[in-house]
Structure 1
Amino acid sequence: MAIENKPSKNEDEYFARENAALIERLRAEADATRRQAERASHTMRCPRCGGHLQEKEQHRVKIDQCPDCGGVWFDKGELEIFDHVDRSGVRRFVADLFGIKY
């Protein structure tokens, strides 16, 4: 009986499945890393010009302001302060925030 130098068909199939699984796992990891890097690149960035936002406090409300274009951005829940502008003393806050003289 002669011994063949090449692996059996079952061995070829086994390694092909192992390689496919490894490639799939590596692609999933690379995709996750790319998504995470893309998400991190947008954190605290101005949606208008891409500058780094700086957190400022105006009358005990934290806002994000872009020093490059001057844009002001609010986090979730911060905009509700405007619902009370005409009903409370928050009018001064809004005037200071947007440089309005009244």
Structure 2
Amino acid sequence: MAIENKPSRNEEEYFARIDADLRKEMRAKADAERAAQVAADRNKCPRDGTPLVPRETHHVTVDTCPTCEGIWLDKGELEILEKAQAEHSGFVTNLLNIFK
């Protein structure tokens, strides 16, 4: 009986499974770190990196930059402001004129 120097098939499968699990954990950790970074960057001004200040206007939170005085809207907020323009005038009208 010759002893084979090659590991058994079960052993290879075991280590392949362990390797796959480790890669999956590392991928999940990297994804979580990226998501945290995106969330941290979301609240900063795209122009100068200053933290944005939220301001409530007609049931919409408008993010403003105190440094460059930029106004930043999230997806769908412009449409809500346009609907409010039909009902109200003043600030909303002036704000929408900036975007046109």
Same fold (TM over 0.5): yes
Please list every run of 5 or more consecutive structure 1 residues that lacks an aligned counterpart in the other structure: none
Q: Is the 8 A contact 1:56 1:63 kept in 2?
A: yes
Q: Structure 1 residues 78 and 33, CA, compared in 2 at 3 Å: closer, same or farther?
A: closer
Alignment-derived partner of residue 62 in structure 1: 61
Rg larger in structure: 1
Please tell me the root mean square deviation across aligned C-alpha atoms, in Å.
3.4
Runs of 4 or more, structure 1, over 6 Å off, are none
What TM-score do you get using the length of structure 2 for normalisation?
Answer: 0.61
**TM-score, structure 1 as length reference:** 0.60
Secondary structure of the corresponding residue to residue 66 of structure 2 = coil
Structure 2 SS opposite 1:48: coil
Letter in 2 for 1:51: T
More helix per residue: 1 or 2? 2
Matched pairs, number? 93
Asked if structure 2 preserves the Cα contact closer than 8 Å seen for 1:53 and 1:64, the reply is yes
> Can you give the 5+ residue segments of structure 2 that lack an aligned partner in the other structure?
none
In structure 2, the residue corresponding to 1:55 is in which secondary structure? strand
